[in-house]
């Protein structure tokens, strides 16, 4: 009987719930964690990559970090294939905006735009919702650095620090305790790795399991988007002291 | 034979448009306004195929207003100019293009003037002073000669007066005087000229 209201995305259950949307949200709660922390001079995003097999070719390209336009990048939790569709959509509409107005779109515009698409799949029947949550990090002239999350329901919200994916509630708890308003990017980077190391199941963080990206401003005022390379991540992990901490905990 | 003139000043932008509404050889109205306010700090002066002009101006205004509502802030002059150029370039490649020439001007948040001229082919040029149509032939030499960077409002109005005198003297038709508007950080206002 429980299948009665499950099968269609667009039908409310008698309790007033949309099961398919809730299942999509649940799917993301099992995906690798992604954590974003906004500092006064930048944003750091860190994500856990689940390594499925030793035999799998470990190419250096990031799977969960994508540059969307000149001043925005995002981290992904959920189904990577679904994310690919949405990222393509965002990149395309972002270029369209640039073409029309000769200006990069404001960050919230992008987020709103992709959320409208996601919302559509909770209302129009026959298709499943996108099983993806995003962490959007970017900079625009009006509001400076901004960090947003979005989920399959089509809701989005702005944060100082937040997390999506597995163990997001425990990550959120640590962030709530450790976040300070005067954080700079260096602190944010360390805190992001620290929170990830505490919430992730894997015993030791390595560049194989961690993806990292930052948004900051260059000295000329231009936005600098960086998806970190494995060697750089390893170095960062060494410097952050996260590796020693985990050994002590054992 | 409409007169569409724009002068970018240090802290404002000046617009002058002829008041005569003509069809064929007749003047139908002597109080025509060939400008439209797009938002609080930006306006557009237009000329071209009558009917197309009004339709296009209202289309642009509606979109600029919609942008303000959706994004929570008013479109800037440069964004409007890009948008209008895009609209005209798209229209040019349709079955029936708008035949409209426009000047777009305004003041940005820092209170600096902005002026851009765009024609129906989608050619855009940001300029210190610009004119569409025959008015350009009689006023460009005056503007070339007298215009200076960072020109004040009073000097701008004096220069505009020279242009008006020259136009009245040389133009073969009576254009019924000029409708003059100023855009600065205070907003848009019409002045007695």
Shortest alpha-carbon distance between residue B66 and chain A (Å): 14
How confident is the model at residue A99, as a pLDDT?
97
pLDDT tens digits along B59-108 = 999 999 999 999 999 999 999 999 999 999 999 999 999 999 999 999 98
pLDDT band at A89 (very low <50, low <70, confident <90, very high): very high
**Touching check for B90 and chain A: CB below 8 Å?**
no
pLDDT tens digits along A142-193 = 999 999 999 999 999 999 999 999 999 999 999 999 999 999 999 999 999 9
pLDDT band at A116 (very low <50, low <70, confident <90, very high): very high
Contacts of B86 in chain A (CB under 8 A): 99-100
Contacts of B109 in chain A (CB under 8 A): none
How confident is the model at residue A138, as a pLDDT?
97
A102/B73 touch (CB, cutoff 8 Å), yes or no: no
Q: What is the DSSP string of chain A?
A: -GGGGTS-TT---TTS--HHHHHHHHHHHTSPPEEEEEETTEEEEEEEPPP--TTS---SS-SSEEEEETTEEEEEEE-HHHHHHHHHHHHHHHHHHHHHHSSPPPHHHHHHHHHHHHHHTTTSTTSPPP-EEEEEEEEETTTEEEEEEE-TTS-EEE-SEEEESTTHHHHHHHHHHH--TT--HHHHHHHHHHHHHHH-SSSS--TTTEEEEEEEE-TTS-EEEEEPPHHHHHHHHHHHTHHHHHHHH-
B85, closest residue in chain A (CA to CA): A100
Decide: helix, strand or coil at residue B193: coil
The arithmetic mean of pLDDT across residues A54-80, rounded, is 88
| Chain A residues with at least one Cβ partner in B under 8 Å | 99-103, 106, 109, 142
Give the percent of chain B with pLDDT over 90.
93
A101/B83 touch (CB, cutoff 8 Å), yes or no: yes
A102/B82 touch (CB, cutoff 8 Å), yes or no: yes
Shortest alpha-carbon distance between residue B108 and chain A (Å): 14
How confident is the model at residue A111, as a pLDDT?
97
Query: Residue B1 pLDDT > 60, yes or no?
Result: yes
Query: Residue A246 pLDDT > 80, yes or no?
Result: no
How confident is the model at residue A3, as a pLDDT?
64
The arithmetic mean of pLDDT across residues B125-139, rounded, is 93
pLDDT band at A241 (very low <50, low <70, confident <90, very high): confident
Q: Quote the pTM value.
A: 0.90
Helix (H) or strand (E) holding B8, with range, is: strand B4-8
| Least confident stretch, A69-78, A119-128, B149-158 | A119-128
Q: Which of B82, B84, B88, B104 to mutate to test the interface with A (most CBs of A within 10 A)?
A: B82
How confident is the model at residue B154, as a pLDDT?
95
Shortest alpha-carbon distance between residue A102 and chain B (Å): 6
> Cα–Cα distance between A70 and A112 in angstroms, integer?
18
**Touching check for B110 and chain A: CB below 8 Å?**
no
Of the candidates B71, B73, B78, the beta carbon closest to that of A102 is on B78
How confident is the model at residue A8, as a pLDDT?
65
B90, closest residue in chain A (CA to CA): A100
How confident is the model at residue A211, as a pLDDT?
94
Of the candidates B71, B75, B86, the beta carbon closest to that of A109 is on B71
Contacts of A103 in chain B (CB under 8 A): 78-79, 82
How confident is the model at residue B32, as a pLDDT?
96
Q: Which residues pair with B102 in a beta bridge?
A: B46, B118
Distances (CA, A) of A209 to A48, A79, A116, A231: 6, 17, 32, 13
How confident is the model at residue A7, as a pLDDT?
63
Shortest alpha-carbon distance between residue A56 and chain B (Å): 45
**Touching check for B83 and chain A: CB below 8 Å?**
yes
Shortest alpha-carbon distance between residue A120 and chain B (Å): 19
Contacts of A99 in chain B (CB under 8 A): 86
pLDDT, greater one: A249 or A148: A148
A103/B73 touch (CB, cutoff 8 Å), yes or no: no
pLDDT tens digits along B165-176 = 999 999 999 999
Q: Which of A93, A101, A103, A142 to mutate to test the interface with B (most CBs of B within 10 A)?
A: A101
A142, closest residue in chain B (CA to CA): B73
**Touching check for B63 and chain A: CB below 8 Å?**
no
pLDDT tens digits along A27-41 = 999 999 999 999 999
How confident is the model at residue A60, as a pLDDT?
62
**Touching check for B168 and chain A: CB below 8 Å?**
no
pLDDT band at A250 (very low <50, low <70, confident <90, very high): very low
Query: Residue A219 pLDDT > 80, yes or no?
Result: yes
How confident is the model at residue A4, as a pLDDT?
64
Query: Residue A248 pLDDT > 90, yes or no?
Result: no
How confident is the model at residue B124, as a pLDDT?
97
A108, closest residue in chain B (CA to CA): B71
């Amino acid at each position: 009987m429980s299948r009665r209201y499950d099968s269609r995305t667009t039908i409310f259950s008698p309790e007033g719930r949309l099961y398919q949307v809730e299942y999509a949200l649940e799917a993301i709660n099992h995906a690798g964690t992604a954590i974003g922390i906004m500092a006064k001079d930048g944003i750091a995003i860190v994500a856990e990559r689940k390594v499925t097999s030793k035999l799998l070719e470990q190419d250096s390209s990031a799977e969960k970090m994508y540059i969307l336009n000149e001043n925005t990048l995002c981290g992904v939790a959920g189904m990577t294939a679904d994310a690919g569709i949405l990222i393509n959509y965002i990149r395309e509409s972002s270029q369209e905006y640039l073409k029309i107005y000769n200006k990069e779109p404001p960050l919230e515009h992008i987020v709103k735009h992709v959320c409208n698409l996601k919302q559509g799949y909770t209302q129009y029947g026959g298709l499943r919702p996108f099983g993806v949550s995003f962490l959007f990090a970017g900079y625009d002239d009006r509001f400076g650095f901004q960090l947003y999350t979005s989920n399959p329901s089509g809701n989005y919200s702005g944060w100082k620090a937040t997390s999506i994916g597995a163990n997001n509630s425990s990550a959120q708890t640590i962030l709530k305790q450790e976040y300070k308003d005067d954080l700079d990017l260096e602190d944010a980077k360390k805190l992001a790795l620290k929170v990830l190391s505490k919430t992730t199941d894997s015993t030791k963080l390595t560049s194989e399991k961690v993806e990292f990206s930052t948004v900051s401003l260059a000295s000329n005022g231009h936005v600098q988007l960086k998806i970190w390379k494995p060697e750089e991540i390893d170095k960062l992990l060494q410097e952050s002291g996260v590796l020693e901490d985990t050994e002590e905990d054992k | 034979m409409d007169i569409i003139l724009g002068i970018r000043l240090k802290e404002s932008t000046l617009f002058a448009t002829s008041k005569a509404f003509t069809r064929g050889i007749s003047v139908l109205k002597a109080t025509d306004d060939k400008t439209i306010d797009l938002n609080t700090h930006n306006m557009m002066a237009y000329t071209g195929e009558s009917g197309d002009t009004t339709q296009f101006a209202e289309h642009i205004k509606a979109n600029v207003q919609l942008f303000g509502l959706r994004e929570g802030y008013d479109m800037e002059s440069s964004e409007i100019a890009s948008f209008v150029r895009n609209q005209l370039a798209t229209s040019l490649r349709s079955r029936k293009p708008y035949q409209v020439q426009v000047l777009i001007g305004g003041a940005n948040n820092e209170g600096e003037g902005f002026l851009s001229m765009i024609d129906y082919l989608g050619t855009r040029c940001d300029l210190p002073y610009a004119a569409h149509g025959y008015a350009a032939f009689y006023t460009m030499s005056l503007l070339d000669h007298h215009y200076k960077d960072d020109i004040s409002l009073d000097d701008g109005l004096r220069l505009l007066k020279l242009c008006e005198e020259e136009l009245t003297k040389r133009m073969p038709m009576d254009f019924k005087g000029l409708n003059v508007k100023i855009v600065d950080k205070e907003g848009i206002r019409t002045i007695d000229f």
